[in-house]
Structure 1
Amino acid sequence: MEMRANESSTHCLKGNRRKSKETPSFVSWNWPLIRKCTFFVFISGVLAMCSIVVAQIASLPKYCNPKTEWYQGGVFYEINPTSFKDTNNDGIGDIRGLINGIEYFANLGISGVRLNSIFPTGESSSLRDMRPELGHLMDLKIFAHELNARNMSLLLDLPLQQIIAKSDQHELIETVGAALNHWIHQGVNGFYLKGLVSIEKLTKLSNCLDAWKSIVGPDRVLMVEESLMKHTAKTNLTALLEHVDLVDVVVDVKVIRKR
Structure 2
Amino acid sequence: MNELPENSNNSGGNDLETLDYLRGVKSSTCLLLPTTPSPTPLDFKHPLSEEMGDRPFLTLNDEPNMVNLQTDASAGDSSSSGDSSSVVQDPVSAQLINNISMLDYQTLSKNGDLIMGQTEDCKLNGNHNVNGRKLPSFVNWNWSVIRKVLLWIVLSGLIACLGAIIGMVITIPKECNPDLPWYQGKVFYEVFPASFKDSNNDGMGDLKGLLKKLDYIQDLGASAIRLNYIYQAQKYPEQYYNITSLVQIDRSVGVLKDFRDLINEVHNRNMSLILDLPVVSMAKPDSSSNFTQAVLISNETITNFVDPTSAAIIFWSSEKVDGFYLKDLEQFVDDISFPRTLQMWKQAMGYDKILIASESAYEKAKGGALNVLLSRVDLIDVHLDLHEGISGLKNRIDNVIKGSLWAKPHYPWVHWNIGSIHNERIATKHVNNTLVLTALELVLPGTVSIFYGDEIGLAGLGDIEGDFHEHKDVNNVVSMSFSNEKNTAVILPWNSNSEREPSYHFLEVIKMFTKVRLETPTIYLRSIYKEGNNLKNMEIRKTEENLFVIERWYPRRNTCVFVGNLGSKSITTDLSTMFYGGTVLAGTNSSLVGQVLYFEKITFPPNSAIILKLEK
TM-score (norm 1): 0.68
What is the match of residue 212 of structure 1?
A: 345
- Higher deviation after alignment, 119-128 or 76-85: 119-128
Q: Which has a greater percent of helix?
A: 1
What is the match of residue 79 of structure 1?
A: 191
Q: 1:199 aligns with which of 322, 332, 339?
A: 332
- Give the Å deviation of 1:239: 3.1
- Give the Å deviation of 1:124: 7.1
Distance 2:374 2:385 in 1: 23
What is the match of residue 48 of structure 1?
A: none
Counterpart amino acid of residue 226 in structure 1: E
Structure 2 residue 319 is matched with structure 1 residue 186: yes
Q: 1:153 aligns with which of 272, 276, 284?
A: 272
Q: Cα distance 1:169–1:81, how it changes in 2: closer, same or farther (>3 A)?
A: farther
Structure 2 residue 247 is matched with structure 1 residue 128: yes
What is the match of residue 109 of structure 1?
A: 221
Distance 2:337 2:314 in 1: 21
Structure 2 unaligned residues grouped into runs of 5+: 1-172, 235-241, 288-302, 391-432, 434-565, 570-616
Distance 1:234 1:124 in 2: 32
What is the match of residue 210 of structure 2?
A: 98
Distance 1:169 1:176 in 2: 14
Structure 2 residue 281 is matched with structure 1 residue 164: yes
Q: Cα distance 1:89–1:169, how it changes in 2: closer, same or farther (>3 A)?
A: farther
What is the match of residue 70 of structure 1?
A: 182
| Mapped contact 2:310–2:345 kept (Cα < 8 A) | yes
Output the aligned Cα RMSD: 2.6
Q: Residues 157-208 of structure 1: CA distance to partner in whole angstroms, max 9, x if unpaired?
A: 1112xx339x855579643232122112322111111111111525421111
| Mapped contact 1:190–1:221 kept (Cα < 8 A) | yes
Counterpart amino acid of residue 70 in structure 1: W
| Mapped contact 2:323–2:354 kept (Cα < 8 A) | yes
Q: Cα distance 1:213–1:185, how it changes in 2: closer, same or farther (>3 A)?
A: same
Give the share of equivalent positions with the same residue, in percent: 39
Distance 2:308 2:321 in 1: 17
Q: Cα distance 1:239–1:178, how it changes in 2: closer, same or farther (>3 A)?
A: closer
Q: Residues 102-132 of structure 1: CA distance to partner in whole angstroms, max 9, x if unpaired?
A: 2112211211000012112357711101111
What is the match of residue 56 of structure 1?
A: none
What is the match of residue 245 of structure 1?
A: 378
Structure 1 unaligned residues grouped into runs of 5+: 1-60
Q: Residues 204-238 of structure 1: CA distance to partner in whole angstroms, max 9, x if unpaired?
A: 21111100000111111111111101112378533
- Give the Å deviation of 1:257: 0.4
| Mapped contact 1:196–1:205 kept (Cα < 8 A) | no
Q: Which has a greater percent of strand?
A: 2
Structure 2 residue 452 is matched with structure 1 residue 142: no
What is the match of residue 12 of structure 1?
A: none
Q: Cα distance 1:202–1:95, how it changes in 2: closer, same or farther (>3 A)?
A: same
**Larger CA Rg, structure 1 vs 2:** 2
**How many residues are matched?**
197
- Give the Å deviation of 1:249: 1.1
Distance 2:343 2:204 in 1: 37
| Mapped contact 2:342–2:376 kept (Cα < 8 A) | yes
Structure 2 residue 369 is matched with structure 1 residue 257: no
Aligned to 1:154, what secondary structure does the other structure show? strand
Q: Cα distance 1:99–1:233, how it changes in 2: closer, same or farther (>3 A)?
A: same
Counterpart amino acid of residue 363 in structure 2: K
TM-score (norm 2): 0.30
| Mapped contact 1:169–1:208 kept (Cα < 8 A) | no
